[in-house]
Amino acid sequence: MSAKLIKGTEIREEILEEITAEVKEIKEKHGVVPGLVTILVGQNPASISYVTLKIKTANRVGFKEIQDNQSETVSEADLLALIDRYNNDDSINGILVQLPLPKHIDEKKVLNAIDPDKDVDGFHPVNVGRLMIGGDEVKFPPCTPAGIQEMIVRAGVETSGAEVVVVGRSNIVGKPIANMMLQKGPGANSTVTVVHTRTRDLAAHCLRADILIVAAGVPGLVKPEWIKPGACVIDVGVNRVGEKVSEKTGKKIAVLKGDVDFDAAREIAGAITPVPGGVGPMTITMLMKNTLKSLKFSLGLA
């Protein structure tokens, strides 16, 4: 039987509606809305398209939104001064510096300069530490892992006591999602294994997974025979494997493939995320959730 599809595009709509309603309520009661600034340095086409979507989504849910575009040649000192200005601006609850940054700028220095209480990406070491401690300490879980956990919960998949296998150990996805799934609390309490490029028998580990989360960046890495029948498979891979002409717009668009051999995996898994339309739409959605949360913290509502 074909697996149930866990569609990020549908879950996104549910969450954005929840956020919009909450923003409206806070505006009526407290006269303020969440403020998000997106800082883009240079003209990287992928970054431009991500930032454009972030701005569009922020507007849709009723946030105050500032798009701060800086030239490719902006100095590190000027960028740090800009961040300092937004750190001290009470109307701004979330500061996002789009990565990657040009080579002459120290990315770590820039991310560390963001006030941890406005770091809605969850990349600042303070927020990484808070995530590790878990529970009430967590302020801003990083957006892609938060989206993954939300999808698992909303798909009704039991996580308590489940064997979770995470393929990939990046700072942005693998390490944080592994940490989140092993914490005490709803949507977690799992037994977690992280596998990576040096793991001896990837297939054997994957085959044990009740929930298999794949963030390796290798198209089609996970084969159907690595999947336990009935497992929940979350494919975080977004690999550009070619180009095609869009039927809708007539423009050239990228052909995307996940880290899982989707067509075959679908026949074995109990639930699976598609690519595109799976985890992808969740990242920006959770950025909105974190920005709203930041305002709520500042108003004493969270």
Q: Which residues are catalytic?
A: 54, 98, 121
d(CA 53, CA 193): 34
Closest CA to 132 of 97, 171, 96: 171
- Taking CB under 6 A as the criterion, which residues in 238-267 touch ligand GUN? none
Tell me: does residue 99 bind ligand GUN (CB under 6 A).
yes
Does 98 sit near ligand GUN (CB under 6 A)? Answer: yes
Of 94 and 274, nearer to ligand GUN (C-beta) is 94
- Give the nearer residue to ligand GUN in terms of CB position, either 93 or 159: 93
Nearer to ligand GUN, 179 or 283 (CB): 283
Binding piece for ligand GUN, criterion CB under 6 A, among 56-64, 91-99, 186-194, 244-252: 91-99
In the complex with ligand GUN, which residue's Cβ is closer, 37 or 212? 37
Q: How many CA atoms lie within 13 A of 205 on its CB side?
A: 21
Q: Which of residues 138-197 bind ligand GUN (CB under 6 A)?
A: 143
In the bound state, the residue with its beta carbon closest to ligand GUN is: 99
User: For ligand GUN, which stretch binds (CB under 6 A), given 71-79, 96-104, 193-201, 247-255?
Assistant: 96-104
Question: What number of CA atoms fall less than 13 Å from residue 71's CA on the CB side?
Answer: 4
∠ at Cα 36 (85, 87), nearest 5°?
25
Smallest separation (angstroms) from ligand GUN to the CB of 125: 15
Q: Report if residue 97 touches ligand GUN, rule: CB under 6 A.
A: yes
Token code pair at residue 92: 């701004």
* CA-wise closest residue to 123 among 104, 110, 137: 110
Is residue 284 within 8 Å of residue 247, measured between CB atoms?
Answer: no
112/128 Cα distance (integer angstroms): 11
Nearest distance, CB of residue 28 and ligand GUN, angstroms: 31
Q: Which of 96, 146, 166, 275 binds ligand GUN (CB under 6 A)?
A: 96
How near is the Cβ of 171 to ligand GUN at its closest, in Å? 11
Inter-residue long-range contacts of 187-190, CB under 8 Å, 24+ positions, other chains counted: 187/149, 187/150, 187/152, 187/153, 187/159, 188/149, 188/159, 188/160, 189/159, 189/160, 189/161, 190/159, 190/160, 190/161, 190/162, 190/163, 190/164
Binding mask 107-126 for ligand GUN (x = CB under 6 A): --------------x-----
Q: Which is nearer to ligand GUN, 62 or 142 (CB)?
A: 142
The sheet with strand 35-41 has its strands ordered as 64-70, 35-41, 94-97
In terms of Cβ atoms closer than 10 Å to its own Cβ (0-12, 13-18, 19+), residue 140 is buried
What string marks each residue from 272 to 301 as x (binds ligand GUN by CB under 6 A) or -? -----------x------------------
Shortest approach of ligand GUN to residue 160 CB, angstroms?
Answer: 28
**Nearest to residue 122, comparing CAs of 101, 103, 150, 95?**
95
Residues that bind ligand GUN (CB under 6 A): 96-99, 121, 143, 283
